[in-house]
Structure formats: C-alpha cells, structure tokens
Amino acid sequence: MKSLLPILTVIGAILLVWFVAVVPMNMHLTADQAQRDGLVVSPETPAERQTYSGLGLTLKNPSLIGLTYGLERPRLPSPHQVGAEMWDTIFEKRVTSRRSLVYHGWVTLSATLLGFAIGTTLGILLAVGIVYNKAMDMSVMPWAIASQTIPILALAPMIIVMLGAIGIQGLFPKSVISAYLSFFPVVVGMVKGLRSPDAMQMDLLRTYNASSAQGFWKLRLPASVPYLFASLKIGISASLVGAIVAELPTGARAGFGARMLVGDQYGQPLVTWAALFAAAITAAALVGLFSAIERMTLRRMGMQAT
C-alpha cells in the first residue's frame, strides 16, 4: 500500500483545483438565478455581467460563492454533485431501469468484452501469420498501421450504418469498433513477443531437431506471454473507448456513450459527467483486472512481473 499516499495526493490536488474552478465557471449562471430569486447582484443586467470574466464577477459578488455549488444545471458540476448523481444512478436505481448507470454500463461492457475477444483473437492470429509467413510479414503490418490512422469517430458511424443496412444491429456492430481498436496493440505486442527468442534459443531447438510446431508451442508462445499482457492492457481500454465511441453518433439508446449524449442534448451535465466518470472507473477496473491476471500468470510461470 506504499502507492496509496501518492495516489491520494494526486486525487486530492485534482479535487482542490476542481472545487476552486467551479466558482468562476458557474458564476454567471448563479448570478442570473440569484437575480430571479430576488437577491441583489451587481452589476444588475445580464448584458453588463457578460463584460466581466467569471473571476471578476466572483470578486464583485463574493456572497454568491456558496450558490455556485448548488446549481441544477451547472456549466461545471462540483465533485459532490457528480458523486451524488453517481450514487443515485448506480446504487439507488434498479439495475434494469433505464436511469441506472449499472444497466448502461453493462450494455457498454458487454460490447467491450465481445469486441476485445474478437480483436485479441484476430490480433494473435495475424501476429502468428506475420511471424511464420513472409508474404504476410511484408503485407499485413503496413495495413494494420494504416488502419489505426483513420479517425475512429469518422469510421464508427459508417460501420454501424453499413452493418445495419444488412440487418446486423445491437451488440455486434459496437463490438466491431472495439475489435478494430483493440487488435492493433495485440498484433504489435505479439509479433515482438513471438520474435523475442534469440538466435541461440532457435539453434538449441535445431540441435534437438524440433519441428516448427514444437518451436511455436514450447518456445515462441510462452516467450510471448509477457508481451501479450502488456498489449492486452492497452487493448482492453481501447476496446472500451471503441464501444463508447460507437454509441455516440448513432443514436444508441443505451450505454455510457448514449448516456453522455443524452446529458449533452438535454442540458443535464450531471448525467454526462456521471457517465464519464463511470466509464473511467470501468476502464481502470478492467486494466486493474488484467494487471492482476498478469501478475498471477507470470508468477505461476516462474517469471516475475515486469
């Protein structure tokens, strides 16, 4: 638990900056609201207030600072508002409810995991092909790299629409986007891992007259495991981003992405922020899970985690 103190320090610093920033960010909205509620605000007209910066207005109306933390539709919600919204939508709602973040989280997570499984399988197969087949070695890698230079935000709606046109809807199109983002780190890591045995290791197998398949199962594959885990940790978070992006522009009705969009469109920043944080926590949990599996596997294999 040595890492706990630095982590808490960073979180504390972020919260502090956030708390301080809430005041000037929300001051104009707060002043408008206060005036409607009959409080004295200076300057007196919204047009005049627009000539002030958030900070300037705060200095003119220090009595309104407390109110900036309690707006219903703030420009920047305060941490406790986001926390309350998350508590409400995660723990207080039935998980089958459309207002439950657990429900939306599961929608996104299931697409993420399916896409991750597809992407990882594809990545490993491509890597094996690249290592064992000269033609694939020359041809696949440039395309794999090119595929990652296309902005996913532009590509995602096209894939969803095209798959929808041939009758494929729901989970699978989102998984395709996830797989599209997650196969790449797996290809790169696995190629490096499968090629990590040095010339001496390969010579040793030749002195045993080992077959190519034996070389793969006994040397190349186990040697690639540490590389694979490094890739999986990048791949799983890329998968989650892919699933969320796939939900954003396509009118999806459920999932973290849909939730963020709804919050934006209906002027409910708390909904957006809660979904954003829930997604971040999900990503952290997934990466943490794979780190734990990595440690366990490498320890069982006799290799210390790096």
Partner 1 sequence: MPTVAELAVQSLGAETPDAAHGGQVIAARALNLTFQTNDGPVHALKDVNLTINKGDFVSFIGPSGCGKTTFLRCIAGLEAPTGGEITVNGMTPDEARRARAYGYVFQAAGLYPWRTIGGNIKLPLEIMGFSKSEQADRVKRVLDLVDLAGFEKKFPWQLSGGMQQRASIARALAFDADILLMDEPFGALDEIVRDHLNEQLLQLWARTEKTIGFVTHSIPEAVYLSTKIVVMSPRPGRITDVIDSPLPKERPLDIRDTPEFIEIAHRVRDGLRAGHVDD
Least Å from the CB of residue 224 to partner 1: 11
**Residue 79, Cβ neighbours under 10 Å: how many?**
16
Least Å from the CB of residue 219 to partner 1: 7
Interface residue list for partner 1 (CB under 8 A): 200-201, 203-210, 214, 218-219, 222-223, 225, 301-304
Of residues 95 and 301, the one with the C-beta less far from partner 1: 301
Measured CA to CA, the distance from residue 55 to residue 151 in angstroms comes to: 37
Residue 290 and residue 236 in contact, taking contact as beta carbons nearer than 8 Å: yes
Least Å from the CB of residue 217 to partner 1: 10
For the chain, the C-alpha Rg in angstroms (whole number) is 26
Of residues 37 and 203, the one with the C-beta less far from partner 1: 203
Least Å from the CB of residue 247 to partner 1: 40
Of residues 42 and 214, the one with the C-beta less far from partner 1: 214
Q: Which residues contact 64 (CB under 8 A, 6 or more apart)?
A: 27, 30, 31, 34, 39, 41, 58
Of residues 62 and 302, the one with the C-beta less far from partner 1: 302
Measured CA to CA, the distance from residue 304 to residue 222 in angstroms comes to: 14
Q: Which residues contact 184 (CB under 8 A, 6 or more apart)?
A: 123, 144, 147, 148, 238
Of residues 162 and 305, the one with the C-beta less far from partner 1: 305
Least Å from the CB of residue 138 to partner 1: 22
